[in-house]
Amino acid sequence: MRTLRNSFALFLLAGVCLLGITATAARAQSSDIKSVEPKDIKDIVAQNKGKVVLLNFFATWCVPCHTEFPDIVKLQNDFKGKGLQVVEVSMNDITDKDELQKYLAETKPPFTVYLAANTEDKFYTDVDPRWDTALPMTMIFDRDGKNVHFYKEARTYAQFKDDVTPLLAAK
């Protein structure tokens, strides 16, 4: 009986330790979300030259963004092997990092998600002068890094596919 109690106590202790490790890993992952300035975003697009880049700006509080996000995840999964790279930038306030991390844990995107360094009007216009703060906003770049599509609205999987397919075919 004593061995059974000792085994049970060890089992409980292991469970508590595992929960602590998991919580620590989740907190570490939350702090790993990199904050970016418009110049950083342009550098990220340039670093992906040779790939078609779908650059999308969203926020966790944006209802159309929630509708669009699963389609972007599916698009990346379907076309990554053909040269597509999705880059996401959250326009959540920097103080909403925990909310963003929770959203990312639920949606499990297969691409890097960055956090805008600020949400001032200048950030938007420094990314692209056509951008008036509307979300979601998507820019699609060809393999040479040229911006060929600019949208200030939610898009569907079919619409994204129609945009990227000819760009992926052009090698």
pLDDT tens digits along 76-109? 999 999 999 999 999 999 899 999 999 999 999 9
pLDDT at 32: 81
**Residue 17, class by beta-carbon neighbours within 10 Å (0-12 exposed, 13-18 middle, 19+ buried)?**
exposed
Q: Evaluate if residue 8 carries a pLDDT over 80.
A: no
Q: Which CATH architecture is the domain 33-169 placed in? A: 3-Layer(aba) Sandwich (3.40)
pLDDT band at 20 (very low <50, low <70, confident <90, very high): very low
Taking the C-alpha atoms of residue 127 and residue 141, their distance in angstroms, rounded to an integer, is 14
Query: Would the pTM count as exceeding 0.85?
Result: no
CA distances in angstroms from 39 to 26, 126, 127, listed in the order given: 29, 8, 8
User: Which amino acid does the sequence have at 45?
Assistant: V
Domain boundaries, the chain: 1-32, 33-169
What is the average pLDDT score of the chain?
Answer: 87
Q: Evaluate if residue 140 carries a pLDDT over 70.
A: yes
Taking the C-alpha atoms of residue 101 and residue 106, their distance in angstroms, rounded to an integer, is 9
